[in-house]
Amino acid sequence: MDEGIELSLTIAQIIQRLRGSHLHSQIERQAKECLHQPDVKLESLKEDVRSFLKTSGWERKLQNAVYRELHIQLPPRHPPAPPEHLKEPLVYMRKAQASWEKRVLKSLNSMSTELLVPLAHMRPAAEQKELTNKWNEMGTDEPDLSRFRPVYAPKDFLEVLIGLRNPNHDSSEDISVRSHWGLIQVPLNVRDIPHLREAYSELNLTSGQMGIDDHALIHPDLFENEYVQIGKKVVMEEDSAAAQQYSRQGCPTGLRADLWALILNATNQPQDVMHYEQLKAGVIQHNLLVDNLIYKDVKLTASNDDYYFVFEDFLYQVLLCFSRDTAVLEHFKYNSATPPKSYIQGKVGDEECAVVYPPNGVIPFHGFSMYVAPLCFLYNEPSKLYNVFREMYIRYFFRLHSISSHPSGILSLCLQFERLLQTHLPQLFYHLRQIGVQPLRLAFKWMVRAFSGYLSTDQLLLLWDRILGYDSLEVVAVLAAAVFAFRAENLMEVTSLASAEAVLADLSTLKVMPLIQVFLFATAM
């Protein structure tokens, strides 16, 4: 497509999306109000209104909104291309995703039938009152969840990815025997170290990094003080693009919450708080079957985690509201997944009775709550925490549990991890294969959660700084390979799967940035 036409289409799409937004009506109102000001002249009306919007900060807010749209909106498509092509261009991937969705929905419906629990029902008045009273202490409640089981676990999803094949690709043509060592057998283009060095140039050994140069043994004047001052200026300027660039070298602890919210353009205006309160009212009025899955997941994961158990109440609040948020459905335009549907009044097959279930279109799986848990360290106001999590999900986390050819999709991350090991640690890869251990089976659980629950929280937040800074999950695959490189000596000694798992069992002492830096910039080519 011609570059000029593509740009025009992008601009038209963004204008169309912003036209119906709350920001548009706010700017419109401000522009009308400024007409009463004495320094606004009729002969220079356009320039004066523009100047007013600029000085009063509305221009920056509009820039940040446009910047957000550029990150989440669909690429302009070729006019004859069907809408599903934007969700996922490869037909065999779309089919695999649809097949997986059927399986997950069948599992959920079977649970509803077996346990005689409806997918949704109105709570009795007494139960509504009780839930309202204990909203901030839901963790003290101990419902009987023994009958409920997670709809699926990451290892089930991995088996689907392993079985994926491109029907148009003849693997016998592949001259490299390496590709048959790994589990992922789909031909996707993933970056090797030379290309990664180019893309992640700010992480090189000579650049200052939060997570390395703010270490106690280095005098703060050398890096930290000046870097923090720049960070404060970025926050004060309220510039999303500048915040994203800044985040590439890490965010100082005291500024991280503001910087992340700025990058994601996750506001906490009165209308955002009201939206959160409406979702909360929806939780109190109706009980969903997925609520039990959320309770169960939090109990199985975050409640047993030394870092996150204190945030149990926050997790329930955020995840229960998230399940009711129909605004999340918007991201299915660029997500290879399709929101699952159920039928009301038992009229299965009647499309007029089909409703999206759960209302946000996302069925939680084992470990889902760990996407929210680290954010609880940054935000103590539920509505702000909620808005940041929702933005993180619709930009990044959904890619970790859907089948797609996207460079940040879990399939690409798995393939990139295997390729990095095969290319730069071939002896280790071969040794592990010889004893019947597939490295990906060990690393998959880290990647599907973006390492949440495996690294210490301070290190995890430094990793997520880079995800936001580079607008990519690629760094997750790089870290997974770097962990294997770091523990390579011990792994070369193991003789069984159990001993390999033991070597990689505890990642809580690892320092993320030194590992990534050394792997990317000190690995011999």
Nearest to 404 by CA among 339, 334, 478: 334
Tokens representing 368 are: 């889902």
Domains belonging to the chain, first-starting first, are: 3-73 (no CATH), 90-154+267-397 (no CATH), 193-254+399-522 (1.10.472)
167 C-beta neighbours (distance < 10 Å), count:
8
pLDDT single digits (tens) 37-92: 777 666 666 676 677 767 777 677 777 777 777 777 655 555 566 777 778 888 99
**Judging by beta carbons within 10 Å of its beta carbon (0-12, 13-18, 19+), is residue 505 exposed, middle or buried?**
exposed
* Helices and strands in the chain, H and E counts: 24, 4
3-state SS assignment for residue 334: coil
Distance CA 155, CA 153 (A): 5
Whole-number pLDDT of residue 51: 72
Nearest to 300 by CA among 346, 242, 368: 368
Backbone angles phi, psi at 122, to 5 degrees: -70, 135
Distance CA 262, CA 487 (A): 37
Angle (CA) 305-507-313 rounded to 5° is: 20
Tell me: pLDDT of 145 over 90.
no
Whole-number pLDDT of residue 346: 60
Chain CA centroid to CA 121, Å: 30
Contact 39, 213 (CB under 8 A): no
Tell me: pLDDT of 23 over 70.
yes
Whole-number pLDDT of residue 71: 73
Strand partners, 288: 120
Tell me the average pLDDT across 297-321. 89
Distance CA 389, CA 266 (A): 9
Tell me: pLDDT of 100 over 90.
yes
Nearest to 39 by CA among 56, 25, 24: 56
Residue type, 479: L
Contact 165, 91 (CB under 8 A): no
Question: Does the CA dihedral 5-6-7-13 come out positive or negative?
Answer: positive
3-state SS assignment for residue 354: strand
Q: pTM score, two decimals?
A: 0.87
Type and span of the H or E element at 264: helix 256-264
Return the DSSP state at 371. G
